[in-house]
Structure 1
């Protein structure tokens, strides 16, 4: 498989998870009314239950794929996505929909985890960071277009067709993966399926000093991103008065962030994932601190949006590179490592993001203060992993330098 097709397939797998959230945002009110749910806050559970179960479910598929291979687990996840999405389209009560959404998150969490393991099987070091950046660049298109896609369907069909669309897209990606995705797990790297072996591999990933600082730092930075998403509508549409222009502002910022992933993919092999991400981390702390100081005195949307976009761009340089560095030590147990790291990143990130969202006070100050704290905390974790030495190039053991 050529690189452009490989990147497209990995992005498509991860995009199905994002689609399961974003495509139905415009339909939440319609779903709640049709299924007799009067409490407006309860409709948020359609997204919340899925996210929670996806985070919990991410502990397992990577370890299972370390034993049985990546491709079989990917195909099971896609089959579950197809079947459960169709079942969601046929529900007649709200509680059943929430149960099905929970199962959808559990059984398809591998679509977040396994692309990371497949990329690690195929590449290492800075080449892995480059590929992950390209995948992220393509993947970022989904949050921009999915709400508009869902809104478009509602113009001529009811909300049940949104789940039908999800099933159809899962079927197409499943056919693509079945025909073109090779098995990337090296036979000599297959692990035992015994619980003791799985727990041992996960424990090794959690306790690896070289990796821990990076996935914990990534969790803090992702938590800041979740905090922005939680309060973005209130902050941009209401506080800054963007109103109906909010989706445009949100989409343009996401588009620029996507472009930054492409830039990262072009420079990371030249300068190294550590140098790029460490520089971006200091830049993130600096911009967030300046922005926080400005917000204390008051700001407008025309100040907030450009500065926040710069912070998002720096997050792009941090995220893909931190993820690649954290996975580097785990060639033999990439699945288990990807699972436990995704679990930690999702759970801690979601918890931190929720705290930021709940702290919203009608200004950007809580968000920006949290971003400064996240940057400083991430720097501390990275210093722990690197034993106080930053900006080093990775020294590859013999035979592990990535192929060009």
Structure 2
């Protein structure tokens, strides 16, 4: 065996592009913060809906439309953030997106009509998805193998933490200072993140590796990604697995207040165990990196999710809805889901090493579309009882497991199972 070149990168690290400095020590926290910014900006202002309506003379439906105005541009632009970063570089697009996001947030401070908030929230939605899309591409630009899995796990942990703490912070700010203080806090947070990215975020895509924005090239590339069976199956596994949990999120008022008789202040009964499961599963996925292959980690995640789904159905068949029994399966399910999620995400991006940004965009777009269908159609069909929700979790998990099994059958050992060995010291 020829000796390893001392100038080559260690196993698990992609060769850096020319002119790219080594990533800073805080890159995991930085990318995780970028990924969490979008969901954080949604959940933080939810406790202020009533105050916004009173202040701007808006109906509850009109205030609710500020959320719709955010989510629709978010889903549409999710298709484009990656392609734009493939053409102009990761760092530049991140900085511009954060600046636009912060300016739109600042505009919310001075809104005097609900229509102003609609427009400003739409601008925020256009730029919010850049962090999570480009962050995933940066992970694959920088790292391979176990190190990529560890970094993706850290991002998943931070992403899971945001929905748990955002309403708490927003509720306190609303109670003390009113709804405009929530947007002032988000402006300061975005400014701090912009400065951190300016100082710390490296450019991970060298000029010679950048892609064209020519319409013909983009059409061919989008077609290539969105017709790839391996990509669609990996995205299907992610979407169906998440849907098994998301039906509870979208059914939370009925599930908690209707079936479990929890007061309006008791939503932590659902989101507390769920976020604990998401964070602990992602942490364990990082610990497994370098010790287990991607496939082995995914299999363990499905085993845990399967036990949770079966236990959920059994509990609801034999026992009346009650706390804490009705939320225990959700903790176990989210633990298994986040154990498998970082690995499946890597498998989805791996077939497109030259178009990772665009592939990450397509992945987020498909996930956002799935979430929209669940929110509008599936959750209302299932929230009639805790048993139908449990059946829904089981069926969606079965679809996710089938997608992942078909992905394995299609790709076999070609999907980097050999790349997860521990890097040599």
Q: Structure 2-normalised TM-score?
A: 0.88
Q: How far off is 1:117 after superposition?
A: 0.7
Give 1:200's match in structure 2, choosing from 206, 220, 225: 220
* Separation in structure 2 between the aligned mates of residue 378 and residue 361 of structure 1, nearest angstrom: 21
CA deviations on 1:26-56 (whole Å, 9 max, x unpaired) are: 0011112211122x34432222321222111
* Separation in structure 1 between the aligned mates of residue 159 and residue 25 of structure 2, nearest angstrom: 13
Equivalent residue, structure 2, for 1:214: 234
Give 1:352's match in structure 2, choosing from 364, 374, 390: 374
Q: 1:284 to 1:269 in 2, by over 3 A?
A: same
Q: 1:136 to 1:302 in 2, by over 3 A?
A: same
* Separation in structure 2 between the aligned mates of residue 333 and residue 24 of structure 1, nearest angstrom: 35
Q: Which runs of 5+ in 2 are unaligned?
A: 1-21
SS in 2 for 1:303: coil
CA deviations on 1:94-113 (whole Å, 9 max, x unpaired) are: 12211221121012321221
SS in 2 for 1:271: coil
Give 1:11's match in structure 2, choosing from 10, 15, 32: 32
* Separation in structure 2 between the aligned mates of residue 345 and residue 211 of structure 1, nearest angstrom: 13
Higher mean C-alpha deviation, range 301-310 or range 18-27: 301-310
Equivalent residue, structure 2, for 1:130: 150
Give 1:159's match in structure 2, choosing from 169, 175, 179: 179
Q: How far off is 1:365 after superposition?
A: 2.3
1:303 matched to 2:325? The reply is yes
Higher mean C-alpha deviation, range 172-181 or range 326-335: 326-335
1:271 matched to 2:283? The reply is no
Q: How far off is 1:356 after superposition?
A: 3.1
SS in 1 for 2:291: helix
Q: 1:195 to 1:388 in 2, by over 3 A?
A: closer
* Separation in structure 1 between the aligned mates of residue 391 and residue 191 of structure 2, nearest angstrom: 43
Is the Cα contact below 8 Å between 2:295 and 2:417 reproduced in 1? no
Q: How far off is 1:296 after superposition?
A: 3.1
Q: Structure 1-normalised TM-score?
A: 0.92
Q: How far off is 1:362 after superposition?
A: 4.3
After the TM superposition, which residues 90-109 of structure 1 pair with which residues of structure 2 at under 5 Å, given as runs? 90-109=110-129
Is the Cα contact below 8 Å between 1:13 and 1:111 reproduced in 2? yes
After the TM superposition, which residues 4-403 of structure 1 pair with which residues of structure 2 at under 5 Å, given as runs? 4-38=25-59, 40-243=60-263, 244-247=265-268, 249-297=270-318, 298-387=320-409, 394-395=416-417
Higher mean C-alpha deviation, range 241-250 or range 256-265: 241-250
SS in 2 for 1:241: coil
SS in 1 for 2:116: helix
Is the Cα contact below 8 Å between 1:125 and 1:325 reproduced in 2? no
Q: How far off is 1:217 after superposition?
A: 1.6
Higher mean C-alpha deviation, range 13-22 or range 47-56: 47-56
CA deviations on 1:231-257 (whole Å, 9 max, x unpaired) are: 123212332123233325522431342
CA deviations on 1:273-327 (whole Å, 9 max, x unpaired) are: 2111123224323421331233134332221111111011111112221111111
Higher mean C-alpha deviation, range 386-395 or range 151-160: 386-395
Q: 1:221 to 1:395 in 2, by over 3 A?
A: closer
Higher mean C-alpha deviation, range 1-10 or range 330-339: 1-10
Is the Cα contact below 8 Å between 2:44 and 2:167 reproduced in 1? yes
* Separation in structure 1 between the aligned mates of residue 23 and residue 252 of structure 2, nearest angstrom: 38
* Separation in structure 2 between the aligned mates of residue 70 and residue 85 of structure 1, nearest angstrom: 23
Q: How far off is 1:202 after superposition?
A: 2.0
Higher mean C-alpha deviation, range 292-301 or range 145-154: 292-301
SS in 2 for 1:387: helix
Higher mean C-alpha deviation, range 111-120 or range 243-252: 243-252
Q: Which runs of 5+ in 1 are unaligned?
A: none
Is the Cα contact below 8 Å between 2:82 and 2:357 reproduced in 1? yes
